[in-house]
Amino acid sequence: MKKNYGPVYVAPLTGWLVVFFAIPISIIVYYSFLKKGFNGGVMHEFSLDAFRALYNPTIFKIAFNTFWIACASTAVMVALAIPASYFMARSRHKNLYMLLVIVPFWTNFLIRVYAWMAILGNNGILNSTLISMGLMHEHIQFLYNTNAVILVTVYTYLPFAILPLYSTIEKFDFSLVEAARDLGATKFTATVRVLLPNIRGGITTAVLFTFIPAFGNYAVPQIIGGSDSYMLGNVIARELTVTRNWPLASSISMALTALTTLGVLLFMRLNRSSMESARESATSAPVKTPQSGTGATA
Amino acid sequence: MRSAKPTGKFSLGMFTLTIIFLYMPLVILVAYSFNNSKMMAWNGFSLRWYNELFFSSENLWHSFWNSAVIAVTSASVSTVIGTLGAIGLYWYNFKFKKAISVAAFIPMLIPEIIIGVSLLIFFAGIKLQLSLFTIFLAHTTFNIPFVLMVVMARLEEFDFTIIEAAYDLGAGELQALSKVILPAAFPGVISGFLIAVTLSLEDFVITFFVSGPGSSTLPLHIYSMIRFGVSPVINALSVVVIAGTVVLAALSRNVVKYMFQK
């Protein structure tokens, strides 16, 4: 019997992630139950102040904003990504198109954000062009509001939606759609009843990959946002570095993580139950929907 | 049946729209980097911003150097740790294996800002001065799960009977590792390393929290520049970054092709 080296291989991984991930996260949980120190830090005394402070209209409003911005940008990204990745997966130039989508994504994140400042800023291209054409005299403030945050979030995370959708659609067996069309389904019906249910896995991944970073967004609202588009991430940073209320920063961090998890679980659940109902309706429908992509292989 | 048939006009339209949306801002940055004016109104062709970028932006290049050092060191360490972990989790059975292979991916699912905040509080707790070293520790931490994921994906395609054959033929653990397992996992190891370098060069949020005075990286430097509004020097820098990205993309594609396709 040869020696089991498994634990030896895994030891550095486990050790590193315990020290630099598990312990720091546990400290946040611990700090959220403490009293705040006078200038940052904490006093080691049990207190629920940090959680009581969460129960206030400002935080609720910001949490709602965060949720709205994340949901809206996720919806826009997935709506754009489904047809775009469908086109890519069906094309003869798949690899070229893939590279086209990835190159802007590899460009530094802050430069991509800055590009929109250069376009939409008060001294930006759009304003200068409109003024020099004499269409208006004063600049319009396009940035520093919720819509600008949604736009730039979509811009920075869009490939996160395209990549998983592309790889799912590429594996999809398109003869199923053709079968549905032969049996008399319209293009629209075939897409909704055959294609979409079969690429559900890709849609789920795309939603998760875009919703999670959008919900925990800090940089985009910090740079492009205004007071109405403040997100939970910004409050955490403010409490940590400006107000220096570390227990509150910790409790908001926990709330952010909990809300993200809740959103993800809720979505997975909705997803599952709608899949079941789709299955039920499929069995009674005149055009049979295949139960899964693996069911029929050409 | 043809595998690629003409697709609908709607999806073509949406794809075109997506590509225009993705490239229009970058094209504008490139064009305006040659603008003579300090404002974003066109005022003739000029290379003055490139001149300023290359000859009087020492802090920027210093930050760039810091970024490069951190990217290479953190990617190397996380590649070693992630690769060993992937081999252990894939090839062996032991207690808590299942739990570890799930828990190791949690850092990918937690919002970046939480990781940044928790590390800042942790470093403050152990009285570790914020510096390039703390940035290196943070980057290694968020890189590990990505390397692990990529190497594991590679190992899944791999026929493990040849490892058993190596053992049967008398190879020791080190020999099996260096002569059989690592060469087989190598494409995964290389792509894990490249992904780690990219993530490290790119990271702003976590770095923002764990950097100290004097330990600026390129993204932090860009952030401090754009906070003061539009500056044509950033336009010129963007062009350099975009060009670098394209060259690296082409290079890594060809290197990977050359190494793994005969």
Beta bridge partners of A46: A34
Residue of B nearest to A128 (CA): B41
User: What's the token pair of residue B215?
Assistant: 């330990």
User: What's the token pair of residue B73?
Assistant: 């060191």
Residue of A nearest to B81 (CA): A13
Please tell me what DSSP assigns to residue A4: -
Q: Mind listing the pLDDT tens digit for each residue in A150-166?
A: 999 999 999 999 999 99
Asked if B218 and B62 touch (Cβ cutoff 8 Å), the reply is no
Asked if A36 and A246 touch (Cβ cutoff 8 Å), the reply is yes
pLDDT more than 90, % of chain B: 39
Q: Which of A86, A107, A139 to mutate to test the interface with B (most CBs of B within 10 A)?
A: A107
Give CATH for domain B58-217: 1.10.3720.10
Q: Which of A108, A150, A174, A204 to mutate to test the interface with B (most CBs of B within 10 A)?
A: A108
Q: In whole angstroms, what is the distance from residue B68 CA to residue B244 CA?
A: 13
Min Cα distance A26 → chain B (Å) is 9
- Looking at per-residue pLDDT, the higher value among A105 and B217 belongs to B217
Chain B CB contacts of A91 below 8 Å: 4, 7
pTM of the full structure? 0.85
Domain boundaries defined on chain A: 58-283
Say how far residue A76 (Cα) sits from the centre of its chain. Answer: 11
Q: In whole angstroms, what is the distance from residue A249 CA to residue A244 CA?
A: 8
Min Cα distance B51 → chain A (Å) is 19
Chain B CB contacts of A87 below 8 Å: 7, 11-12, 14-15
A77 has pLDDT over 90 = yes
What band does A81 get if pLDDT is binned at 50, 70 and 90?
A: very high
Q: What is the pLDDT of residue B182?
A: 87
B158 has pLDDT over 90 = no
Phi and psi angles of residue A266, each rounded to the nearest 5 degrees, phi first: -60, -45
A296 has pLDDT over 60 = no
What band does A293 get if pLDDT is binned at 50, 70 and 90?
A: very low
Q: What is the pLDDT of residue B37?
A: 80
Q: ipTM score here?
A: 0.87
Chain B CB contacts of A67 below 8 Å: none
Chain A CB contacts of B144 below 8 Å: 13, 16-17
Q: What is the pLDDT of residue B67?
A: 94
Q: Which of A17, A39, A82, A245 to mutate to test the interface with B (most CBs of B within 10 A)?
A: A17
Residue of B nearest to A254 (CA): B114
Mean pLDDT over each residue of chain A, to the nearest integer: 85
Whether residues B81 and A13 touch (CB distance < 8 A) is answered with: yes
Whether residues B204 and A236 touch (CB distance < 8 A) is answered with: no
Q: What is the pLDDT of residue A276?
A: 66
Chain A CB contacts of B233 below 8 Å: none
Average pLDDT over residues A161-188: 88
Asked if A195 and A179 touch (Cβ cutoff 8 Å), the reply is no
The stretches of B157-260 forming alpha helices (DSSP H) are: 161-168, 173-175, 182-202, 205-210, 218-226, 232-260
pLDDT more than 70, % of chain B: 93
B4 has pLDDT over 60 = no
Cβ contacts of residue A145 below 8 Å, gap of 6+?
A225, A226, A228, A229
Q: In whole angstroms, what is the distance from residue A263 CA to residue A259 CA?
A: 6
Cα–Cα nearest to B181, from B253, B258, B89: B89
Of A16, A24, A40, the CB nearest to B81: A16
Whether residues A155 and B117 touch (CB distance < 8 A) is answered with: no
Mean pLDDT over each residue of chain B, to the nearest integer: 86
Chain B CB contacts of A260 below 8 Å: 111
Q: Mind listing the pLDDT tens digit for each residue in B163-217?
A: 888 888 888 888 888 888 888 888 889 989 988 998 999 899 999 999 988 889 9
Average pLDDT over residues B13-22: 93
Whether residues A20 and B17 touch (CB distance < 8 A) is answered with: no
Q: What is the pLDDT of residue A281?
A: 56
- Looking at per-residue pLDDT, the higher value among B82 and B252 belongs to B82
Average pLDDT over residues A194-215: 89
> Rounded to the nearest 5 degrees, what angle is found at the Cα of B196, between the Cα atoms of B194 and B200?
120
Q: Give the number of A-B residue pairs with CB atoms closer than 8 Å.
A: 264
Give CATH for domain A58-283: 1.10.3720.10
B84 touches chain A (CB under 8 A): yes
Q: Which of A18, A20, A105 to mutate to test the interface with B (most CBs of B within 10 A)?
A: A20
Q: Mind listing the pLDDT tens digit for each residue in A249-290?
A: 999 999 999 888 888 888 878 777 766 665 565 554 444 344
